[in-house]
Amino acid sequence: MKLHKDAKNELIKSLPLFVDCTPAEVAEVAALATEIDLSAGRRLATENADGQEFVVIIEGSATVTVGDEVVNTMRSGDFFGEIALLTGEPRTASVVATTPVHALVIEGHAFRRLLEDAPDIRTKVQRAHDERTAT
């Protein structure tokens, strides 16, 4: 299932990181996102590794682990990868697909360049990130 442009924009707009962005800013973010399909069992992120992308799950599910402990299950609309891209620190958890996953991916270099080139978007993303990690 490939998202049409409006659906991709709506999905991006629904994410807490981008909820305060204008329609033009959302379109700018969505233009960077590529849809991919991943098989069950595929490792999407590795704890303590460098973060190379921001991922939004469109369909499917994935398990999040810290060490050997399962800490979350991600489903449609959930996302990960922003912490490593915003802070430059290693991934805080591992993520493995438990079903086939259809996802949006923004490569790290494109995500960082967007935040450098669009300070208004960076401010909104940073504020949303700070609110998410404050608890």
Low-confidence ranges of the chain (pLDDT < 50): none
pLDDT at residue 118, as a whole number: 87
Mean pLDDT of the chain: 90
Q: Are strands 94-97 and 79-80 parallel, antiparallel or unpaired?
A: unpaired
pLDDT at residue 44, as a whole number: 95
pLDDT tens-digit map of 33-54: 999 999 999 999 999 999 899 9
| DSSP string of 42-77, one letter each residue | -EEE-TTSPP-EEEEEEES-EEEEETTEEEEEE-TT
pLDDT at residue 104, as a whole number: 95
pLDDT at residue 125, as a whole number: 84
Answer for the pair 55, 67: CB distance below 8 angstroms, yes or no.
no
- pTM for the predicted model, two decimal places: 0.89
pLDDT at residue 74, as a whole number: 97
pLDDT at residue 110, as a whole number: 93
pLDDT at residue 135, as a whole number: 60
pLDDT at residue 66, as a whole number: 95
In a 13 Å sphere around the CA of 55, the CA atoms on its Cβ side amount to 28
